[in-house]
Structure 1
């Protein structure tokens, strides 16, 4: 009998299912290699790795509840009702299979196709990596009526696996405290975990995930807790993402099938907006760079809709050619597939490379969409009419785009007149500051380092691209100037909206606005523009927000810039003996209130400044938030602001 047969027998999950690939030594030395980074992202990734194990049990059909708890000391407990990690003797390693899974990197049932058909986890480093990066970890397993336990410090077991009592059910309970000597941040953010747990609940219909924060207790003595459960999976997910947009048709076009051994689930909605929003997942991993599954989806959508429109004679009077992009305008879709051995490529290893997937997704989507269009002629006509409108607007956009291309420095058209360029030509060293207004732009030009810092002043608030058709955006002078200054080309393929950033002139693009409500609005408008039209800029980590100080505090000859109210309070306590009146505080309402030297010292000097990098940790959540903040519907926006406002009188 082979190992695979043993593991497959009656869903058995035993020591023989655990295969060992390599040791743990390097994890503590080079943690970023294994979990991405040692900041906030890496800290939360530890939780995802442990939860992924429980999700794998659920995918295999053995678990339907996962409890995630943030404890008072910022340790995390993850408990599931799966089969429990095997505890029997591992012949090769000569110790309990539980200890092998917890202390040896890449040791786990995931590497044996018989134990798990598919498994999640981006890095696949597993729970042993979490163990290595925790000062303390306790594992409890309930199996066969017995409660087993083992504890570890920095990945090393404190004792052998032992029985500590009777079991009340089956499952695994993991509690770990991230190592503060490795992580720059050790305080968990509830919202980051809630976003991922909500996403996992949508992607895995029927699983209950409960997130509890023991650090937050309300007036009645109840701890903060939220339950995530989705009965209809992607159908509900696509409605959630699209909830702040106006629907073109109210139906969700849905399919859940298997082609060539690949489980495929897709949910599609059409809205009245002008952007395409497709979110793709492989084994619960958000593939933000797309890949073969996305290519298969797009190919099927274009082919099927075009054929239907032609067969129905809807395109007879249309004088213009319809392109692939036109079929996806106003489309929101979620694609989730499961692949036994995914091959990931791309900058952030989130692009699927498996060639066999393209044909499978193409076939599945083509069949489902053909059936829907034939059964719903009224809705089908609305979709095709929207496509024709998009094609007409795209032809109008071609002229506007040619204006941008003509002015591009790559085509010899020169740079925008307002741009104060830097002298260095190496994009890796160059920075472009997008500055609010000519006044602040002038100060920034005086204060900058001309060698590597370029300044582009923007007049007022740029166009809200969430509400505008594409050609209107390209007709906007401020947006044209951004494209031209960056040196990117647009619409090179099939009149596509996609930007080609190969000749990008700056690898740091920094939004620098006033620290007030208007400044925040301009930040959001510019981020929306990049998110919708040049997402690669964000995906590659090129977009930043400058953070000018809020205050200059003085007491005698001592002065200090303060970026937060907490820093200001600390200065008052230190130098004013707690008396606010004893300290002179200057509140900076705008960049124009600083002179060039102050702006350089606080906001532009790489030695002292604080830049916030804009990243898309969760594309579906970002899509929902941008459409809600910048779209037509006021209701959800008001709720969001009321929930997230820290203090109302920001400009007092």
Structure 2
């Protein structure tokens, strides 16, 4: 094929045109190949590589504590009290073990030498990559009764004449014995300064991510203490993470809803054959069959909610994108539940459950341990070892089957509750699909499935349509006369709806008021909720401005938070703000409104003071105790007319915090709610209480 080139381009292409990157040069040239990116994620990945090396020692039974320090000078220090990096000479390279680990890619003790049975770092590039991407790295090893030290600049060994990465540097030199340590003292201390020319300017270490990772690791390695110190602020802060309960305690920590079961532990062990390339006596690569040991340890717990959370790990490395171990877990879970349901009469003819139904409200920690697992890439986000899936499936199916068939009274009751929840989730999913197909706006008026008490609007424009959920039939009559029937719909509720924070899904679906609200919104509920299927762009709670009205708004908010949360996340849920007081002016001047409304006690006091100061006369102010006290014109003007009303939008900036508040206000535990009420009572001004 003919080619074209500009006159100023070189026309030669031979071996001299090829670039060969030696050693760690390749890492500095293409860092994203090794750490994923050069932003905050890549910066944190470097820290994980060093921490994971220390944790691997703890996994092997060496060292019970790790200290991490984020220095005020931009340095990062990781100290362990394990065996220490080997300081003797590696025979093939003639270098010390420390220099081999920190300068040679694919070098380490995790390639089948027997030093590690299960580890997180496997490719042998972690520490050397961090070294290559650091302007300075200092390593200190306590071993054989001596302290050994060595420094590097961008992966090149040498000596710094001073502290910090900007100190004068002289290349050359090796591992130096710098002092003695007490007998039996061992460990490794690595301090490094990331190269800010490689990482993006806005790449910053995340203390929150570090705390989460340290907490996670302390759960996965029971008894390991991880101490994190941040010296970057005005006042240094230290957090210590230590958990003895293992992944059972981790599962309880992760679960945000009320439990239906205790934490169920599924454990098993098996071996499998794997063909791997190994070096023969002549130094050639040859395939060989190796027997691998696989340990499976899973903790799971069903709760009353519908959210699913699965955390998976290989050795102690998180695999956020799953892999063969999670595939095996899913398959075993479906099989075990399917067999358990066969022995009951919960499913009617033609009904079936899906994986999504089983996962509803399920929190799981999946861990497997094996030597030399196959990951997809250095970032280790997906496990690829094929044989793991089969073994995990067998363990889950067998051990979970034992739980469902357990003769223990508590286990039988809990497993029955779980199976009922799964069947209810299946029926909810089917109902949601029917709603989605049958209750679209275009045929809503012809449909007989919508509640008769719904006073619908005429418009089919979802973004414009509003649904007012109104407390009581009396307020409904006033609201019906006050609304704009073109785009404002009304749904009355009778009194206080079911507290869904305490009730089961089945009870919620049986409740007429809850079912009507879900039906009218038209997008399903729970995991099957589809925000694209909603029939109204705004759902507005309209209740009296008293304690009962506040309770009703809280109950409605709980229903939407638990079963229609995307409505809140997408900003579709509001609370109306009706006025508390009305001033009727006597002989108002031109341009003055005859009626002035205030929406809080503070605003009432300001208006009262303003009118008194200006000599504006008014009749005795009216205090509204409910929506029914207003006539249609007043309700329209103050609460429903978009030109004058005030709405409060429900938002979800902190889902975990919101979950805690709902559980405290509406959950089964009485003590936290009582404490909240008592604490609030001391701050209440008794003069503002209506008697």
User: Do the aligned partners of 2:322 and 2:382 also contact (CA within 8 Å) in 1?
Assistant: yes
Matched residue, 1:183: 199
User: Do the aligned partners of 2:522 and 2:533 also contact (CA within 8 Å) in 1?
Assistant: no
Q: CA deviation at 1:306?
A: 2.4
User: Do the aligned partners of 1:67 and 1:209 also contact (CA within 8 Å) in 2?
Assistant: yes
Runs of 5+ unmatched residues, structure 1? 1-21, 408-416, 420-434, 439-458, 460-465, 485-523, 534-622, 640-652
Measure, in 2, the Cα distance between the counterparts of 1:362 and 1:101: 37
Superposed, which structure 2 residues align to 1:395-414 within 5 Å?
A: 395-402=430-437
Superposed, which structure 2 residues align to 1:278-427 within 5 Å?
A: 278-311=310-343, 313-315=344-346, 320-345=351-376, 350-373=381-404, 374=406, 375=408, 376-402=411-437
Measure, in 1, the Cα distance between the counterparts of 2:61 and 2:666: 37
Quick one: structure 1 residues 256 and 217, their matched pair in 2 at CA, closer, same or farther if it must change by over 3 Å? farther
SS at match of 1:344: coil
Matched, 1:163 2:177: yes
Equivalent residue in structure 2 for 1:199, among 207, 216, 231:
216
Measure, in 1, the Cα distance between the counterparts of 2:309 and 2:43: 28
Matched residue, 1:488: none
Q: Deviations over 1:198-246 (max 9, x none)?
A: 111111222111111123465xxxx31111111111111111111x312
Matched, 1:139 2:139: yes
Q: CA deviation at 1:110?
A: 1.9
Q: CA deviation at 1:291?
A: 2.1
Q: CA deviation at 1:44?
A: 1.3
Measure, in 1, the Cα distance between the counterparts of 2:347 and 2:138: 69
User: Do the aligned partners of 1:122 and 1:285 also contact (CA within 8 Å) in 2?
Assistant: no
Matched, 1:81 2:90: no
Matched residue, 1:264: 296
Superposed, which structure 2 residues align to 1:454-533 within 5 Å?
A: 475-476=522-523, 482=532, 529=566
Q: CA deviation at 1:346?
A: 9.3
User: Do the aligned partners of 2:49 and 2:126 also contact (CA within 8 Å) in 1?
Assistant: yes
Q: CA deviation at 1:344?
A: 3.1
Runs of 5+ unmatched residues, structure 2? 1-21, 159-172, 272-292, 443-459, 467-487, 489-499, 510-514, 535-560, 571-651, 674-691
Measure, in 2, the Cα distance between the counterparts of 1:235 and 1:477: 33
Measure, in 2, the Cα distance between the counterparts of 1:528 and 1:180: 41
Matched, 1:253 2:251: no
Measure, in 2, the Cα distance between the counterparts of 1:193 and 1:85: 24
User: Do the aligned partners of 1:74 and 1:187 also contact (CA within 8 Å) in 2?
Assistant: no
Matched residue, 1:626: 655
SS at match of 1:303: helix
Measure, in 2, the Cα distance between the counterparts of 1:110 and 1:633: 46
Q: Deviations over 1:164-201 (max 9, x none)?
A: 10124101100001111111246423212111111111
Measure, in 2, the Cα distance between the counterparts of 1:183 and 1:215: 19
User: Do the aligned partners of 1:292 and 1:355 also contact (CA within 8 Å) in 2?
Assistant: yes
Quick one: structure 1 residues 226 and 347, their matched pair in 2 at CA, closer, same or farther if it must change by over 3 Å? closer
Matched, 1:172 2:188: yes
Quick one: structure 1 residues 256 and 625, their matched pair in 2 at CA, closer, same or farther if it must change by over 3 Å? farther
User: Do the aligned partners of 1:299 and 1:362 also contact (CA within 8 Å) in 2?
Assistant: yes
Measure, in 2, the Cα distance between the counterparts of 1:247 and 1:402: 34
Matched residue, 1:520: none
SS at match of 1:61: coil
Which piece of structure 1 moves more, 377-386 or 313-322?
Answer: 313-322
Q: Deviations over 1:515-541 (max 9, x none)?
A: xxxxxxxxx99x9759999xxxxxxxx
Please, what is the CA RMSD of the aligned residues? 4.1
User: Do the aligned partners of 1:245 and 1:628 also contact (CA within 8 Å) in 2?
Assistant: no
Measure, in 2, the Cα distance between the counterparts of 1:153 and 1:32: 20
Q: CA deviation at 1:436?
A: 12
Matched, 1:228 2:241: yes
Q: CA deviation at 1:339?
A: 3.0
Quick one: structure 1 residues 345 and 90, their matched pair in 2 at CA, closer, same or farther if it must change by over 3 Å? closer
Superposed, which structure 2 residues align to 1:96-115 within 5 Å?
A: 96-115=96-115
Measure, in 2, the Cα distance between the counterparts of 1:44 and 1:177: 13
Measure, in 1, the Cα distance between the counterparts of 2:328 and 2:321: 14
Matched residue, 2:46: 46
**Structure with the greater alpha carbon radius of gyration:** 2
SS at match of 2:231: strand
SS at match of 1:57: helix
Q: CA deviation at 1:316?
A: 6.0
SS at match of 2:196: coil
Q: CA deviation at 1:43?
A: 1.2
Measure, in 2, the Cα distance between the counterparts of 1:307 and 1:624: 41
Q: Deviations over 1:292-346 (max 9, x none)?
A: 21121122222222222322x3336566223332222111111011232323349
User: Do the aligned partners of 1:245 and 1:627 also contact (CA within 8 Å) in 2?
Assistant: no
Matched residue, 1:599: none
Q: Deviations over 1:481-509 (max 9, x none)?
A: 7489xxxxxxxxxxxxxxxxxxxxxxxxx
Quick one: structure 1 residues 196 and 161, their matched pair in 2 at CA, closer, same or farther if it must change by over 3 Å? same
SS at match of 1:183: coil
User: Do the aligned partners of 1:238 and 1:333 also contact (CA within 8 Å) in 2?
Assistant: yes
The count of aligned residue pairs is: 435
TM score, norm. by length of structure 1: 0.60
Which piece of structure 1 moves more, 78-87 or 103-112?
Answer: 103-112
Measure, in 1, the Cα distance between the counterparts of 2:666 and 2:248: 20
User: Do the aligned partners of 1:344 and 1:352 also contact (CA within 8 Å) in 2?
Assistant: yes
Which piece of structure 1 moves more, 105-114 or 27-36?
Answer: 105-114
Q: Deviations over 1:95-117 (max 9, x none)?
A: 21211111122211122342222
Quick one: structure 1 residues 628 and 292, their matched pair in 2 at CA, closer, same or farther if it must change by over 3 Å? farther
Quick one: structure 1 residues 624 and 245, their matched pair in 2 at CA, closer, same or farther if it must change by over 3 Å? farther
Quick one: structure 1 residues 140 and 635, their matched pair in 2 at CA, closer, same or farther if it must change by over 3 Å? farther
